[in-house]
Structures are given as C-alpha cells and as structure tokens.
Structure 1
Amino acid sequence: MKISEEQLHQFNEDGYFVLKRVVPDGWVQMLREECSYFIGLKDQELEKKGDATSGITHKGKRYFISRQYRKSSRLWRFIFSDLMAEICRATLGKEAYLFNEQWVVKGANLGMSFAWHQDSGYVKFRDPHTRHKSYLSCWVALDDVNERNGTIYLLPHSQAGTKNHILNHHREEGTNDLIGYTDNDPGVPINTTAGSMVCFSSTSLHRSGANTTEDMRRVYLMQYSAEPLLSSDGILWGEAVPFVKDGVNIYDPAKDGLEL
C-alpha cells in the first residue's frame, strides 16, 4: 500500500484523506469480534454502577471505549502493523507514538449523533494553554458507512480555518459532547465500505450523524503523534508508546507489558 501524492496534498491542505478497503478482511473480522467483547465489558461496568452514561458514552446508543488494547492478545498486531507504520511515516514523519485507541460505536436505531469538534479540542478544553503538535486520527470503518447509519462528516481546513489551529469548545449539557463549530455548513460526508480508513488531522473539524438503521455502526479509531503529548505543565497526555523511529517500526510488545 502506498499513499499517493494527491492524498498527501489533500491531507496537508484539507486535513484528511480516505484509504478505501485498505484493511484486510481478516483484520476487519478480528476488530469486529474485539469490539463486541469490549462493548460487553462496558455494559457490565455501567450496570454495576447503575448508570446509563459515562462521559460521552451512552449505553446502547453510543460508545467511546478507549485504551483497552493491552487487554487483548490480538489488537496490537493491527495497531502496530507495518500498514499503520507506513501511514504514520507518510503523515507524521520518521517518528511516531501511539497516543490513543478507542472503539466508536453507534447502536442500532438509537445511535446518537456526535457534535462538531476537533480531537485536539478535547485536549485544549482540559488544558487551555496546550501547545501540542497536531496528531493523526485513523478512523477505521468496520461496517459500510453512510449518511443513514452515522458516518463521519469533515470540514476542510480551507473552509474552517483550522490548519494547525485549535478552536475553543464548549460542553453540551445532556450529551457531554464538546462543540467547536455552530455554523450551518454540513461538511463532507464519507460514504465508504467496511475496511476503509479515514485519516485526518487532530485539528480537522468533524462530526457524525445518528444511526437510523437496524444494525450497529462500528468504528475503530487509532491516534498517533509525532512526539509524546505533554500538558502545559509537563504531564503526559494519554499514551506515548514508541512505534516508529528513524522511519523503522520499532514496536516491541514485550516492552509494552503484553503477555504473549
């Protein structure tokens, strides 16, 4: 797999590009199986607490389940694969770290929308003085995605003025979503097939619609940074797992605390 010059130009100018059917079917099936397992764990956790909501997760409607890959014997093989190393090299350069990974799932019929935001906006909301470099979000569709089941919409940098710029966000009551854009532009919908990947900058404005279909809409999201993300007072944000150094995939599962 090679990312084209046209795709890199789109990433640099608009903040995103799409790799169609880039994830092999076997990995897609593995990710679906792991997704079911971690949704089950999240539901058990919510039931024990007697809650239907945890942050921006709403039981049965919308799930954001992050930083769980060390509990799996399989996920690391995809997160730190040569495929993802190539994407990181093309977009971030010769050095890359895993910053975050999470499941992003919308339930059947009840799947909630998700407001306009920048991923970096969630960092800035908690750390207003942040000066972090833009990082890379890799949004992997585990189902065919379209405007009926809650696909992602993006607003190009050229329209939003968001290239290397983090907007102020505010929290929405009820959903706990952070909102960074309130104008009327609907954005560019990404209608694509399972196994496709949307790669976008952490300063790209994006949203997703509601799922009105009879099936879940499942996505696996991986985020990589060119350097460890530190808060304005020097504390590490999220993960900083060494992945690519001098252009080479250096990930070592044994050093990452995984039992193989």
Structure 2
Amino acid sequence: MTPSPETDTTAPGSTGQVVVVQTADGPMPTHLWTPPSGSGPGIVLVQEIFGVSGYISQRGRDLSALGYVVLAPEVYWRLPDATIDEDGDVLGQAMGLVQQVDWGLAVADVGAAVEHLRGMIEVTGPVGLVGFCFGGGLAFNVAATTPVDVLVSYYGSALPNLLPLADQVTVPSLHHFGTADAYIPAEAQEQIRQAVTPNGARFETYEGANHAFDNPNPMFHDAEASAAAWAVTVPFLAEHLSSPSV
C-alpha cells in the first residue's frame, strides 16, 4: 500500500488534514488525524447533523491520541450550501441540512471512506466506525453493508428505522443512550436493545442523560454521562482494534 495520492499536503490543523475520497459521484472531502506514531488501526468518524464541527474534530483528535488513524467524511459535501451560521438557529439550520441528505448516497459515501482508510499505508490494523447521533445511525447502516471490524454508535437517531438490518451487523458493537433522551424515548430504546443484543451488541444507558449528551454545547452536554460513555468506548475500541496505545 502507498500513501493516497488524493491527500492534501496542507498541514494538519484542528480540523485535521484534508483528504479527498473518490466516490461514484466525484471527490468527497474528509478530515484525517494521525496518531503520534504515524500509524495504527483505523477509525471512520461519522458526524452529527452539525457536520464535521469543532466537537467532531475534537473527537478526531482524541481518538488519534489513543493511537488510531481517524478519517471523518463530510457527509454534506453534495449539498449546495452546508454552512451553519453559529450566530443563528444552529439546530434549525442543521435539521434543514440533514433533511436534504440522500440516505443511500450517504451510506455509500461512508462506505467509500472505510475502503479508502483501509487502503492507506498509515493503517496497520483493523478498521472501525464511531458515529454520533445522525452519524450513529449512519454508521450502523454502513456496518450492515460494508466490512468493518467494530462499531460504536452514540444515540443513533435513525436506529428505530434501521432495525431490519440488525442481523447484518455481526461485528462487535457498542450502543450508548441516555435514559432521558427526548428524541429516542425508552420504548424505542428497548426495541433497539432487543434487536441488537441477540447479535452480541453491548447496550449502555446513562441515567438522566438526554440526546446528544456527549456534545459539549451547553444545550446538550451531560458531563457525567459523556465521561462515563467515553470510559466504556476507549477500552471497547482497544479490545477490538488492538490499539497499541491503550
């Protein structure tokens, strides 16, 4: 394997190094974070409805610090304007963007990111998926259709509609939900649990936490639940991706 010729030579920053992944419809921008060692197992990091935001970029840096090569695709790349004005109605804007996404194309795009990452010379081990909210459901769908080695889904918002795919997700998987999730209530969470755990999935809940509890925005954040979920996620990934740094 050789380094990808589509890798931009721009120096890495808080949003990572820009890497172009070829899809059936053209080039998709993604963001790459490499570990201090320069190589390791791979993780495709799948965004929330807010795009590859500062929060998602921070999680990319967090994961790369643990020894992973992390690639975050810009799922909104096909949209004519995916800009979110942080001084406006951020949630309303993001909801407007996600409603424009073609789900099937998004699944294919993240699958292309998985294959691209697996082929990079920097990736020396298995490849997994980590997704948040919109990205948690999208990652679940990709795990059902694209070979990966592990899945971590934080409160996957589309999961209630994806349960027919549960038997196709056979890799080790971990699901996080808050018990006070206003978007995915207890009844829906129980349906998800019953669908995924027969295939060996781990299902974790956090008392009193709402939807998007890992997002540091004060509108969403639950510090206790975020820390507890991360403390489960890190060793789970290490176990199934054999990260040398954990």
Q: Which has the higher strand share?
A: 1
Structure (1 or 2) with the larger CA radius of gyration: 1
Q: Which has the higher helix share?
A: 2
- Give the structure-1-normalised TM-score: 0.25
